[in-house]
Amino acid sequence: MSETAQPTPATDERIKEISGLRRALIRPELGGICGTVLVFTFFLLTALDSGMFSAQGVLNWSTVSAQFMIIAVGACLLMIAGEFDLSVGSMIGFAGMMIAIFSVTLGWPVWGAILITFALCVSIGALNGFIVIRTGLPSFIVTLAFLFILRGFTIYLPQTIERKTIIGGISEAAEGDWLAALFGGKILGGLFQWLGDAGLIAVFERGSRAGQPVVDGIPMLIVWAIALVIVGHVLLTRTRFGNWIFAAGGDAEAARNSGVPVNRVKILMFMFTAFCATVFATCQVMEFGSAGADRGLLKEFEAIIAVVIGGALLTGGYGSVIGAALGALIFGVVQQGLFFAGVESSLFRVFLGVILLGAVILNTYIRRMITGER
């Protein structure tokens, strides 16, 4: 009696084994991680003794990075959802000017001015999304229009009301205001005083501030940046809504057929982008004590570049909030690092162009690895 051969189980051609190396290479954060390592290595070699990595130096480039980071989080989620917002920079200037007009010119409490400004700007973000959804126009065109509309109002309103384009006096109006402290204050002042007393960080040696630490706390701008990165990352990777964001940007029609509320997702992402821009603007006016009509220029492009460096595809459906945060960190370190290294600061714009081109080429290669395109 001959033994019957056991049939070999058929392999499913749809299931393909992916090596650990390939899995690492297609992570959206890869470009941001590589860029961060290269940038820090370069400045450790060229600017180590310049004070760049002292407590005050770290605070300098961390603050600049936090500015990029706040707007990059909103831009990242919106780009993953398949849309752009070119009005971010103008929204920053507009929001700051509205806070100044409401609080200084009209005499409203600063907390009220901030809340009304947030409501106004988030509503404008919703309007952006509504127009994109209802008309089918590219978000590039719609938000480009709002870039000019908001910038125009930012110049026109203070000129008409105050006969000038810069409104000061916000610091005085915000004194003792509970909400203003959430955007313009500092935290962990006691910890830094202890570090100064222990000789771990530099202190002022003379003058009225003798004995006080050079760094007297962490600005709320940095706190907001970290908080938004955490919230954005958790939202994108740990919630059903995050899956909807990826689906809306990857294939909107297929997502609709699967029950994903694509229109609502996209409108909410426009609103979140406007919210991030308003956070940036509020922190900025509280820091400087004034609002200017030229604030936020080119910030929309810097946010998009940070997101692209962080691994997001321009076509949507792929990206990472952590990657965008690393892209913002690269921006801040390079912008301040060029000064510490004694390099002409105008080369920062050259760097932006080079890093953008390199990031797009890398992201295109990654997309081809994912999709199998040639």
Domains of the chain: 54-366 (1.10.3470)
Nearest CA to 187 out of 229, 227, 232, 228 is that of 227
Nearest CA to 301 out of 352, 357, 255 is that of 352
For residues 293 and 165, the answer to whether their CB atoms sit within 8 Å is yes
Question: Can you give the pLDDT of all 374 residues of the chain as single tens digits?
Answer: 445 555 555 555 555 565 665 666 667 777 788 888 888 998 898 888 888 888 889 999 999 999 999 999 999 999 999 999 999 999 999 999 999 999 999 999 999 999 999 999 999 999 999 999 999 999 999 999 999 999 999 999 999 998 999 999 999 999 989 899 999 988 888 898 888 888 888 888 887 777 788 888 999 999 999 999 999 999 999 999 999 999 999 989 999 999 999 999 999 999 999 999 999 999 999 999 999 999 999 899 889 889 988 888 888 888 899 999 999 999 889 888 888 887 777 788 887 788 778 777 876 776 676 656 55
pLDDT of residue 1: 47
pLDDT of residue 83: 95
Query: How many Cα atoms within 13 Å fall on the side-chain side of residue 222?
Result: 17
For residues 192 and 217, the answer to whether their CB atoms sit within 8 Å is yes
For residues 310 and 50, the answer to whether their CB atoms sit within 8 Å is no
Mind giving me the DSSP string for 243-284? HHHHHHHH-HHHHHHTT--HHHHHHHHHHHHHHHHHHHHHHH
CA distance 275 to 120: 10
- Reduce the DSSP state of residue 368 to 3 states and report it: helix
φ, ψ dihedrals at 208, nearest 5°: -70, -20
Tell me the whole-structure pTM to 2 decimals.
0.90
pLDDT of residue 351: 79
- Reduce the DSSP state of residue 180 to 3 states and report it: coil
pLDDT of residue 210: 77
Maximum pairwise Cα distance, the chain: 105
Q: What Å distances lie between residue 235 and 228, 243, 262, 269, 321, CA to CA? A: 10, 9, 16, 12, 10
For residues 285 and 100, the answer to whether their CB atoms sit within 8 Å is yes
